[in-house]
Amino acid sequence: MLTLLLIIIYLAFISLGLPDSLLGSAWPAMKTDLSVGLSSAGVIFMIVSFGTIVSSLFSDRLIKKIGTGKLTFVSVTMTAMALFGFSVAPSFIWLCIMAIPLGIGGGAVDASLNNFVALHYKAKHMSWLHCFWGVGATIGPIIMSLFISNNNQWKKGYATIAIIQLCLVFILFITLPLWKKVEKRYDKESEEEKITKTTNVFKIPGVKLALVSFVFYCATESTAGLWGSSYLVNYKGLSPGKAARWISLFYGGITLGRLLSGFLTMKLNNKILIRAGQITCIIGAVFLLLPLPIYFSMIGLILVGLGCAPIFPCMLHETPQRFGKASSQSIMGIQMGFAYMGSMFMPPILGYIASKTSISIFPYFLLCCMLIMLLGSEKINGFIRKRRLA
């Protein structure tokens, strides 16, 4: 039963990844059709991120009311409808409106499924779970690049992704009884544990340091995904279609890296994998900012993707071990909320600065986020080490 449910969760994470990479890869073409500036993508991204933050913070309450299965079904349905809205968008304002259900749908399912896997599956499954997110995030730009290259038909690209989402919605619907059986089984186990209230979570030692790492991880990943294509087009001189394909390599790096890190978790602990990923990200950013031939930028994007691969799933899987199973769902929701604050604020900040200066600052901005993430992560490692020795 748990194996079948794990397959369904993997499919749900494909649906999470599909829309996440579309805006960045399509924006060079979209902004021309909509007659808006480069930085306008940051506004849409902020709206999506805000919806994600809100639903992540309320995920604990929603799960208690309707269960993880129903919440996943409703959330994926919302994202599918939002993507159909993008495919018929007559204006920039319409995109902003459709960004609301897109963000709300993504946040609730993200927080709930991450905690479910952290509690009931091994670390390798968390890495592979986010590998399937990478599958969706890699497929999205590839599909979009095909339509952009064919007379700039980005709307058809969004419609195609929406249809794929609806197929996943159907699968989730017919498997709802399976979720009910599994949830009843684990509800009995969880009754014995005291559930920590969200208002008290910030008092738990180490939580604030963990949140810093989540903020700047998502800042790194989302900034690379949103502005990487614009950097390649406006600074490196690639065509929009080719740039979209190159951005798929960034998400491909995340996907391949998470597949490999799933196996590596059998031999290495989460702390080592997190540190190795952060160092790899920094090397990739250096490749992007140095005045090297254009194909080194492609290598840099792949390295950033490979580096990002183990960081997020390993930090998530550490949550019950760091702070206790009874507190994990509340903390998971807050971690996801803060992570998406990084997504909400950092890419628009870069977009604003780039509109006043140049998109050439993109790799320098990435590098700063990576260094802060590394510092926060190492501080919490030291804090947890001291606490365990005490």
Mean pLDDT, consecutive 10-residue stretches, the chain (390 aa), reads 81 83 83 84 85 83 82 90 92 94 85 76 82 83 86 88 91 85 61 48 78 92 88 86 83 87 88 94 94 88 92 86 71 82 86 90 94 89 72
Q: Which of 97, 71, 58 is nearest to 9 (CA)?
A: 71
Positive or negative torsion for Cα 306, 161, 13, 263: negative
Residue 382 is encoded by which pair of tokens? 């030291």
Residue 45 is encoded by which pair of tokens? 């991204």
pLDDT value of residue 200? 67
Q: What is the pLDDT of residues 329-381, one digit of tens each?
A: 678 778 888 887 887 788 889 988 998 999 999 999 999 999 999 998 888 87
Do 284 and 303 meet the contact criterion of CB atoms below 8 Å apart?
yes
Q: Which residues contact 12 (CB under 8 A, 6 or more apart)?
A: 72, 76, 109, 113, 168, 172
Residue 195 included in any domain: no
**CATH assignment of the domain containing 229:** 1.20.1250.20
- Rounded to 10°, the helix 325-356/40-57 angle is 170
Q: Which residues contact 341 (CB under 8 A, 6 or more apart)?
A: 49, 53, 215, 218
Do 82 and 22 meet the contact criterion of CB atoms below 8 Å apart?
no
Residue 308 included in any domain: yes
Q: What are the φ and ψ backbone dihedral angles of 292, each rounded to 5 degrees? A: -105, 165
Q: How far apart are CA 57 and CA 377, in angstroms?
A: 22
Q: Which amino acid is at 371?
A: L
Whole-number Cα distances in Å, 50 to 55, 337, 341, 350: 9, 9, 7, 17
Q: What are the φ and ψ backbone dihedral angles of 318, each rounded to 5 degrees? A: -75, -15
The single residue listed with the structure tokens 């963000």 is 103
- H/E run at residue 327: helix 325-356
Q: What are the φ and ψ backbone dihedral angles of 237, each rounded to 5 degrees? A: 85, 20
Residue 120 is encoded by which pair of tokens? 């009931």
Do 109 and 16 meet the contact criterion of CB atoms below 8 Å apart?
yes
pLDDT value of residue 53? 85
Whole-number Cα distances in Å, 65 to 59, 68, 70, 71, 347: 10, 9, 10, 9, 34
pLDDT value of residue 224? 92
Q: Which of 238, 280, 292 is nearest to 256 (CA)?
A: 280
Residue 329 included in any domain: yes
Do 256 and 137 meet the contact criterion of CB atoms below 8 Å apart?
no
Do 255 and 308 meet the contact criterion of CB atoms below 8 Å apart?
no
Helices (H), 35-91: 40-57, 59-87
Q: How far apart are CA 112 and CA 223, in angstroms?
A: 24
Residue 74 is encoded by which pair of tokens? 């409703």
Q: Which of 306, 129, 154, 142 is nearest to 224 (CA)?
A: 306
Q: How far apart are CA 141 and CA 305, in angstroms?
A: 14
Backbone Cα Rg of the chain: 20
**Residue 344 structural domain:** 10-186+201-382
Do 106 and 19 meet the contact criterion of CB atoms below 8 Å apart?
yes
pLDDT value of residue 274? 93
Residue 105 is encoded by which pair of tokens? 């749908």
pLDDT value of residue 195? 45
pLDDT value of residue 199? 47
pLDDT value of residue 287? 94
Give burial (CB, 10 Å; 0-12/13-18/19+) of 252: buried
Residue 128 included in any domain: yes
Positive or negative torsion for Cα 19, 20, 26, 32: positive
pLDDT value of residue 361? 94
Residue 387 included in any domain: no
Q: How many domains does the chain have?
A: 1
Residue 70 included in any domain: yes
Look up residue 37 and give its DSSP letter. Answer: -
Residue 28 included in any domain: yes
Q: How far apart are CA 94 and CA 92, in angstroms?
A: 5
pLDDT value of residue 188? 53
